[in-house]
C-alpha cells in the first residue's frame, strides 16, 4: 500500500510539465490564437522605425545601438541606430530608431 | 499620438536624467511597478534621459534606491506647472473668475427676440403681451416657462390660433399661427331690416331679400328703414313672413365743412439750428449721454445706430435724436391767398372724415359771410356710397 501511494505521488509530480502542454493543446484545439493564451512574446515590427514586443520579462541591456530583451522564449536582441525606448510598461515595450536586426537566441 | 501628447501635457510630466551603472534594472523595476516611462534615450554609458508622469516620478524613489541610480529633473512640463507659475498672479485669477462669471451671465440672458408671423401688424401686440409678462431683451432665461408664455400670448393677442415659444441659446423664438375669422353667417329665419347709414339720395337699389319701402330717387334720413324684413303677401289671409333683408342701396351723400378765412397765416419754418441728443442703448435700456435741446419749438427725427461688425447686429448701439428748431412766422395774406388757404384746410379736414367705401363725385366751394363781415369758406363734397346697414328688427 505504501509503495502504491508513493508511486501515485511521484506520478502527480511528473505530470506537472505535461499539464502545461495540455493547456496549449486545448488552446490549439479551440483555435485560440497563441498570443492570447500563455506568455509567449509577440513581436510586431512596423516599418523600420518601430518594434513592439508584448509579453516580455524585462530588458537586459540598453545601449544606443543594441537592446536586449528577456522573454519566456529566450532573449531577443534588437540592433540598429539611435535606438530609444518609446514606451515601457509591464506588458509591452516599444522600441524606436533605425532598426537593422531582430535576433532570437542572442 | 497627438492625443497622447495632449493628455500627457494636461496631466503634467517631467523630463528626468537617470545616472547609474545599472540603468536596465531601474527601468525594469519601474515597468513592474506600473510606472509609465517613455522616450528613453541613452545619453552615454552611465546615463539616460526619459519622461515620466508626475505620479510615476513620486513612486520612483524606491526603484532608484534599489538599482543604485540617481534621478535628476531636467525639465518640468505640462499644465500643472504652468498653473503653478500663474498661481501668484492675483489679477490673472480675478480675471479668470470674472471671465467665467460674465460668460455664465451672458449665456443666461435673452439677447434677442424673434417673432415669426405672417401678419406684421400682430408683432407689436405679441411684444406687448411679452412685456406684460416682464419678458424682454435682457431678462433671465431661468424664470421663463415657454409653455406658459405661449398660452399667455394666445390668450392676450386676438386672432392667434397657436403660439410656439422656444429658447434657442440666447434667442427667444416665437412662432405664431393666425386664426382665420369665420365668415358672418346669415340666418334666413332671423328678421333683419336694412336702414340708412346716413342721409342721402338713393340712386340705385338692389334688393335680394325683403320688402323695399323706398324707391330710387327718394331722399332718406339717417336711420330710416329702407328694406323691411317682413314680407307681406298680397292676400291678407296668408299673413306675413319674416326674412333676413339683404340688398345694396347706393346713395348720393354730401359732406360739408366750413372754415373761417383768416388773413394772418402762421408759417412754420425750420431754422438752420439743430441739436443732437445721444442715447446709449443696451438691449431695451437707454442711457442719455447728452443734454436736452435748447429750443422751444422743434421737430425731431430719431435714428438708431447699432454696432454690427461682420453683419451681426449687436444689442449695443446709439440712438440719436436730432432736434430741428422751428420758427413760427406770422405772414399777412391777401384775400385770394387767404381763401385758398381756408379751402385747402377745409378740404383736408373733410377728406379725413370720408368713409372708405365712398366715391367722390363732385365738390362745391361756397363763400359765405356772417353779420360781422367775417368770411367763411364752405366745401361740400358729393359722394356715392353704399348706405345699407343691417339692423335686427325689434317689432
DSSP letters for A42-85: EEEEETTTEEEEESEEEEEEE-SSEEEEEETTEEEEEEEEEEEE
Say what the pLDDT of residue B282 is. Answer: 77
What's the rounded mean pLDDT across residues B188-214? 87
Question: What residues of B are in contact with residue A85 (Cβ under 8 Å)?
Answer: 27, 37-40, 50
B12-45 pLDDT, tens digit per residue, is 999 999 999 889 999 999 999 989 899 999 998 8
Say what the pLDDT of residue B246 is. Answer: 87
Grid cell in block for residue B297: 419749438
Distance CA(B292)–CA(A105), nearest Å, equals: 99
Q: Which residue has 291678407 as its cell numbers?
A: B236
Q: How many contacts does A have with B, using Cβ atoms within 8 A? A: 49
The Cβ-side half-sphere exposure at A98, using a 13 Å CA radius, reads: 2
Please say whether the beta carbons of B53 and B8 come within 8 A: yes
Mean per-residue pLDDT of chain A = 80
Please say whether the beta carbons of B259 and B349 come within 8 A: yes
Please judge whether B40 and A62 are an interchain contact, meaning their C-beta atoms are less than 8 angstroms apart.
yes
Would strands B37-42 and A74-88 be described as parallel, antiparallel, or unpaired? antiparallel
Say what the pLDDT of residue B184 is. Answer: 79
Provide the 3-class DSSP secondary structure of residue B43.
Answer: coil
Please judge whether A85 and B34 are an interchain contact, meaning their C-beta atoms are less than 8 angstroms apart.
no
Query: Is the minimum CB–CB distance between A54 and chain B shorter than 8 Å?
Result: no
Lowest mean pLDDT among B3-17, B28-42, B116-130, B287-301: B287-301
Query: Residue B290: what are its φ and ψ, rounded to 5°?
Result: -130, 170
**pLDDT higher than 50, residue A13:** no
Query: Is the minimum CB–CB distance between A85 and chain B shorter than 8 Å?
Result: yes
A78-106 pLDDT, tens digit per residue, is 999 999 999 998 889 999 999 999 999 76
Alpha-carbon gap: A95 to the closest alpha carbon of chain B (Å): 9
For residue B201, which of B215, B186, B184, B185 has the smallest C-alpha distance? B215
For residue B279, which of B270, B290, B268 has the smallest C-alpha distance? B290
Which distant-in-sequence residues (6+ apart) come within 8 Å of B238 by Cβ?
A: none
Alpha-carbon gap: A91 to the closest alpha carbon of chain B (Å): 8
A44-58 pLDDT, tens digit per residue, is 999 999 999 998 999
Please judge whether A88 and B37 are an interchain contact, meaning their C-beta atoms are less than 8 angstroms apart.
yes
DSSP for B184-223, written as a single string? PP--TTS-EEEEESS-EEEEEEEEEESEE-S-TT-EE-TT
Say what the pLDDT of residue B133 is. Answer: 84
Question: What does the radius of gyration of chain B's CA atoms come to, in whole angstroms?
Answer: 44
Q: Which residue has 522605425 as its cell numbers?
A: A49
Distance CA(B74)–CA(B14), nearest Å, equals: 7
The ipTM is: 0.75
B166-178 pLDDT, tens digit per residue, is 988 888 999 999 8
Identify the closest residue of chain A to B41 by CA–CA distance: A84
Direct distance between the N- and C-terminal alpha carbons of chain A, in angstroms, rounded to an integer: 51
Please judge whether A84 and B31 are an interchain contact, meaning their C-beta atoms are less than 8 angstroms apart.
no
Direct distance between the N- and C-terminal alpha carbons of chain B, in angstroms, rounded to an integer: 97
Query: Residue B29: what are its φ and ψ, rounded to 5°?
Result: -65, -45
Say what the pLDDT of residue B170 is. Answer: 86
Question: What residues of A are in contact with residue B23 (Cβ under 8 Å)?
Answer: 62
Distance CA(A15)–CA(B215), nearest Å, equals: 133
Query: Residue B130: what are its φ and ψ, rounded to 5°?
Result: -65, -40
Q: What is the pTM of this model?
A: 0.47
Question: What residues of A are in contact with residue B50 (Cβ under 8 Å)?
Answer: 85
Say what the pLDDT of residue A6 is. Answer: 54
What's the rounded mean pLDDT across residues B380-384? 90
Q: Give burial (CB, 10 Å; 0-12/13-18/19+) of B239.
A: exposed
- Stretch (H or E) spanning B91: helix B90-107
Say what the pLDDT of residue B327 is. Answer: 83
**Cα B135 to the center of its chain, rounded Å:** 12
Sheet bearing B211-212, strands edge to edge: B211-212, B225-228, B192-196, B388-392
Distance CA(A43)–CA(A69), nearest Å, equals: 11
Q: Which residue has 391777401 as its cell numbers?
A: B334
**pLDDT higher than 70, residue A8:** no
Please judge whether A62 and B41 are an interchain contact, meaning their C-beta atoms are less than 8 angstroms apart.
no
Q: At what angle do helices A16-29 and A2-14 cross, to 10 degrees?
A: 50
Query: Is the minimum CB–CB distance between A81 and chain B shorter than 8 Å?
Result: no
Please judge whether A88 and B24 are an interchain contact, meaning their C-beta atoms are less than 8 angstroms apart.
no
B9, B63, B296 from B53: Cα distances, Å: 10, 15, 79
Distance CA(B55)–CA(B64), nearest Å, equals: 15
B239-287 pLDDT, tens digit per residue, is 788 888 888 899 999 888 888 888 777 778 888 788 888 888 776 677 7
Distance CA(B277)–CA(B292), nearest Å, equals: 7
Amino acid at each position: 500500500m505504501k509503495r502504491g501511494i508513493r508511486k501515485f505521488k511521484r506520478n502527480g509530480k511528473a505530470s506537472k510539465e505535461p499539464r502545461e502542454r495540455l493547456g496549449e493543446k486545448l488552446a490549439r484545439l479551440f483555435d485560440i490564437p497563441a498570443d492570447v493564451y500563455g506568455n509567449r512574446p509577440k513581436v510586431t515590427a512596423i516599418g523600420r522605425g518601430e518594434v513592439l514586443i508584448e509579453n516580455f520579462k524585462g530588458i537586459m541591456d540598453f545601449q544606443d545601438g543594441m537592446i536586449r530583451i528577456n522573454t519566456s522564449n529566450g532573449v531577443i536582441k534588437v540592433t540598429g541606430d539611435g535606438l530609444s525606448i518609446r514606451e515601457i510598461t509591464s506588458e509591452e515595450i516599444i522600441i524606436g530608431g533605425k532598426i537593422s536586426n531582430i535576433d532570437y537566441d542572442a | 499620438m497627438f492625443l497622447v501628447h495632449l493628455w500627457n501635457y494636461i496631466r503634467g510630466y517631467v523630463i528626468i536624467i537617470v545616472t547609474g551603472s545599472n540603468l536596465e534594472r531601474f527601468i525594469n523595476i519601474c515597468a513592474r511597478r506600473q510606472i509609465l516611462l517613455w522616450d528613453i534615450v541613452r545619453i552615454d554609458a552611465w546615463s539616460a534621459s526619459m519622461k515620466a508622469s508626475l505620479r510615476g516620478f513620486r513612486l520612483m524613489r524606491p526603484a532608484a534606491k534599489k538599482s543604485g541610480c540617481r534621478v535628476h529633473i531636467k525639465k518640468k512640463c505640462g499644465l500643472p506647472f504652468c498653473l503653478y507659475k500663474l498661481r501668484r498672479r492675483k489679477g490673472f485669477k480675478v480675471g479668470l473668475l470674472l471671465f467665467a462669471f460674465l460668460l455664465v451671465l451672458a449665456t443666461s440672458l435673452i439677447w434677442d427676440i424673434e417673432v415669426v408671423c405672417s401678419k406684421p401688424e400682430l408683432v407689436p401686440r405679441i411684444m406687448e403681451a411679452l412685456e406684460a409678462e416682464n419678458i424682454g431683451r435682457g431678462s433671465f432665461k431661468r424664470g421663463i416657462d415657454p409653455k406658459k408664455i405661449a398660452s399667455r400670448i394666445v390668450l392676450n393677442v386676438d386672432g392667434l390660433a397657436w403660439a410656439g415659444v422656444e429658447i434657442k441659446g440666447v434667442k427667444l423664438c416665437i412662432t405664431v399661427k393666425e386664426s382665420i375669422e369665420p365668415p358672418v353667417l346669415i340666418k334666413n329665419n332671423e328678421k333683419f331690416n336694412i336702414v340708412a347709414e346716413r342721409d342721402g339720395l338713393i340712386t340705385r337699389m338692389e334688393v335680394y331679400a325683403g320688402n323695399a319701402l323706398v324707391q330710387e330717387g327718394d331722399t332718406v334720413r339717417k336711420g330710416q328703414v329702407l328694406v323691411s324684413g317682413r314680407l307681406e303677401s298680397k292676400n291678407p289671409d296668408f299673413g306675413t313672413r319674416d326674412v333676413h333683408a339683404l340688398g345694396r342701396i347706393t346713395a348720393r351723400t354730401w359732406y360739408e365743412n366750413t372754415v373761417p378765412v383768416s388773413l394772418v397765416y402762421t408759417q412754420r419754418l425750420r431754422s438752420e439750428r439743430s441739436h443732437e441728443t445721444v442715447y446709449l442703448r443696451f438691449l431695451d435700456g437707454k442711457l442719455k449721454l447728452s443734454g436736452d435741446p435748447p429750443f422751444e419749438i422743434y421737430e425731431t427725427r430719431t435714428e438708431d445706430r447699432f454696432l454690427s461688425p461682420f453683419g451681426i447686429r449687436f444689442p449695443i448701439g446709439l440712438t440719436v435724436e436730432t432736434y430741428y428748431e422751428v420758427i413760427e412766422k406770422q405772414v399777412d395774406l391777401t384775400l385770394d391767398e387767404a381763401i385758398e388757404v381756408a379751402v385747402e384746410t377745409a378740404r383736408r379736414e373733410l377728406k379725413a372724415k370720408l368713409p372708405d367705401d365712398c366715391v367722390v363725385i363732385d365738390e362745391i366751394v361756397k363763400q359765405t359771410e356772417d353779420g360781422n363781415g367775417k368770411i367763411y369758406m364752405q366745401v361740400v363734397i358729393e359722394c356715392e356710397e353704399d348706405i345699407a346697414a343691417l339692423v335686427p328688427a325689434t317689432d
